[in-house]
Amino acid sequence: MLSYLFKRLAVAVPTLLVLVIVSYVLMYAAPGGPFDTERALPPEVMANLDRKYGLDQPLVVQIWRYVASIVTDFDFGPSFRYQDQTVNEIIAQGFPVTLTYGAWSFLAAVLVGVSLGIAAAVHHNTLLDYFAVGVSIGAQVLPNFVMAPILTLVFTLWLGWLPGGGWQGGEWPYLVMPVIALSTSFMASIARITRSSMLEVLNASFIRTARAKGLPRRRVVFRHALKPALLPVVSYLGPAFVGMITGSVVIDFFFATGGIGQFFVNSALNRDYPVLMGVTILAGGLTVLFNLLVDLLYAWIDPRIRY
C-alpha cells in the first residue's frame, strides 16, 4: 500500500510543479506589468515597486521564491489590486463558502445518483427505469450555467420561494439553488454509470448463485452486487470533483455567494495575477489530493489491484 502511495505521489508532485511553473510563466509573459496605470508612474517608483515584489529578479529566481514560500509558509504572496489583502486572506475568506456548498453538492450528487442508478437497474425496463434514464439524459445538457438561470427563474422570479443570490452565513434557503445547480449534471452521470454497471453485475454468475441459494433480493443487491458495481462510480469521482471545483466558479459568479470563484472572476477581469495563480494552484492542489484519495479508495475496494 505504501509503495503504491509513493508511486501516486510521484505523479502528483510533478503535476503541481508543472501547474505552478506554467501559470508563473504565463503571468511573466503577460503584456503589461501589474502596476501599469492610466498615468505612467516615474521609472524610479516602478523600479521600487518591482523590487518590493521581487519582480526585478530573473524568472527562475522568481519561480523558486514563489514555490519556496508556498511550500514553507503556504504563502501565495500579496494581491496586486487589493493592496491591503494577501492572496491567503482572500482565499481564507472565500474558501469556507465554496467548501460548504461544494461538499453538499458532492454528497447530493453521489447519494441521489447512486440511489437512482440502483433503483433503475433493479427495476430494469420498468417505468422507474425509463424515468431515471430520461432524467439522466436530460440533465446531461443542463450544465451548471444553464441550471442556475433556470432555477432562479422558477424559484425566485415565478414562485418567490428562494432568494436569488447571496450567502448570509450559509443559511439553507441560500444553499438550495447553488447545490442543485452544481450537482445536477454530475448526479445524472453518476446515475447513468451506476445503472449500467449494476445491470452488468446483476447478470454475473455469482449473483445467480446467490439468488439460487435463496437469499432475499435486497440482500443480494446490497451485500453482493453493490460493491463491484460501485467501482466505475469511484473512478468517476475524480473527474466529478474537478468538474465541481470548476463549476463553483459559475455558482459564485451567478449567485454572488462570495466564494473563491467570485474572486477568481474578478481578478481575471482586473488582471490580478497573484490571486488568479493562487486560486488556480489551490484548485490544482485539491484536485491532486482528491485523486490520490480516490486511487487509495479504489485500491481498497478492489483487491485485484496490486500496488
Partner 1 sequence: MTLLFGRRMFREPLPPGTGDAPAGRSLWHDARARFVRNRAAVASLVVLLLVTLFALFGDFVAAWSNEEIDWSMLGSVAENGAPSLANGHWFGVDELGRDLFARTVQGTRISLMVGIVGALISVVVGTLYGATAGYFGGRLDGVMMRVVDVLMAIPYMFVLILFMVVFGRSILMLFIGIGLVSWLDMARIARGQTLNIKHREFVEAAVAIGVRPRRIILRHIVPNLLGVVIVYATLLVPSMIIYESFISFLGLGVQEPDTSWGALINDGASQMQYGTLWQLLFPLFFFVVTLFSLFFLGDGLRDALDPNDR
Contacts for 73 with CB less than 8 Å, ≥ 6 apart: none
Distance (Å, whole) CA 236 – CA 291: 10
> Measuring CA to CA, how many Å separate 255 from each of 97, 102, 167?
12, 14, 8
E strand or H helix at 240: helix 226-255
17 CB neighbour count, 10 Å cutoff: 12
235, 261, 257: which is closest to 247 by C-alpha?
Answer: 261
- Selected from 41, 253, 293, 296, the binder of partner 1 by CB under 8 A is 253
Stretch that binds partner 1, among 14-22, 37-45, 76-84, 220-228 (CB under 8 A): 14-22
Interacting span for partner 1 (CB under 8 A) from 34-42, 87-95, 143-151, 217-225: 143-151
> Site residues for partner 1, window 161-190 (CB under 8 A)?
164
29 near partner 1 (CB under 8 A): yes
Among 9, 18, 71, 256, binds partner 1 (CB under 8 A): 18
Q: Does 116 bind partner 1 (CB under 8 A)?
A: no
Among 221, 230, 277, 294, binds partner 1 (CB under 8 A): 277
User: Does residue 159 bind partner 1 (CB under 8 A)?
Assistant: no
Residue 141, interface with partner 1 (CB under 8 A)? yes
149 is a contact residue toward partner 1 (CB under 8 A) = yes
Nearer to partner 1, 174 or 254 (CB): 254
CB 305 within 8 A of CB 299: yes
Is 240 an interacting residue with respect to partner 1 (CB under 8 A)? no
> Nearest CA to 97 among 241, 266, 239, 249?
249
Helix, strand, coil share (%) of the chain residues, nearest 5: 80, 0, 20
Select from 46-54, 87-95, 117-125, 141-149 the region that touches partner 1 (CB under 8 A).
141-149
CB nearer partner 1, residue 117 or residue 284 = 284
Which helix H or strand E contains 283, and what residues bound it? Answer: helix 273-301
Task: Identify the bridge partners of residue 86 per DSSP, sorted by sequence position.
Answer: 78
User: What number of other Cβ atoms are within 10 A of residue 141's Cβ?
Assistant: 9
Q: Decide if residue 256 touches partner 1 (CB under 8 A).
A: no
Question: Residues 154, 147: contact at Cβ < 8 Å?
Answer: no
The residues binding partner 1 (CB under 8 A) are 11-12, 14-15, 18-19, 22-23, 26-27, 29-31, 137, 140-143, 145-146, 148-150, 152-153, 157, 164, 242, 245-246, 249-250, 253-254, 264-265, 268-269, 271, 276-277, 279-280, 283-284, 287-288, 291
